[in-house]
Amino acid sequence: MTINKILAFDALTCALMAIVLALSAGALAPLLSLPRDLLFYAGCVLFPIAIFMAVLARQDRPWAAGVWLVIAGNAAWGLASLAVLLLTAPNMLGAGFLVAQALVVAVLALAEFKAVGRPAAGMA
């Protein structure tokens, strides 16, 4: 899979998570036993990130520094999710939510990392 396709998929999943978190924080907070503001602001932060990834994905040769920024950001998001797990008191559903989305983001970061090293990645 090309870096462009991976970035496009990452942008789509990021935008979907942004919508879910920002618009449903009030309903999700008691369901997951996570702070409403944390969910809401995490969703708000994801909107510009999704746009950034979408812009990179649309480039014929994605900006290399931008791709590395996405990879680093995904790694940081995964680690932050695990930190939230340890620093808050989510219920089992909330813990599962945090772990699942951390794993998805980690898989995306790994796919992007592997794609960067490919000669056909065509990054500028």
The pair of structure tokens assigned to 105 is 């983001």
Instruction: Assess if residue 91 is contained within a domain.
Output: yes
Range of the domain at 77: 3-116
Instruction: Assess if residue 123 is contained within a domain.
Output: no
Instruction: Assess if residue 122 is contained within a domain.
Output: no
Could you tell me if residue 123 is left (phi over 0), alpha (psi between -120 and 50 degrees) or otherwise beta? Answer: beta
Q: Is the pLDDT of residue 7 over 60?
A: yes
Q: Is the pLDDT of residue 31 over 50?
A: yes
Place of tokens 């994905």: 57
Q: Is the pLDDT of residue 97 over 80?
A: yes
Query: What average pLDDT does the segment 86-113 reach?
Result: 97
Instruction: Assess if residue 28 is contained within a domain.
Output: yes
Instruction: Assess if residue 36 is contained within a domain.
Output: yes
Q: In 39-55, which positions are buried (b, 16+ CB within 10 angstroms) versus exposed (e)? A: bbebbeebeebbebbbe
Number of domains present in the structure of the chain: 1
Instruction: Assess if residue 121 is contained within a domain.
Output: no
Instruction: Assess if residue 92 is contained within a domain.
Output: yes
pTM, rounded to two decimals: 0.91
Q: What angle do CA 90, 30, 49 make, to 5 degrees?
A: 75
Instruction: Assess if residue 80 is contained within a domain.
Output: yes
CA–CA separation, 124 and 67 (whole Å): 10
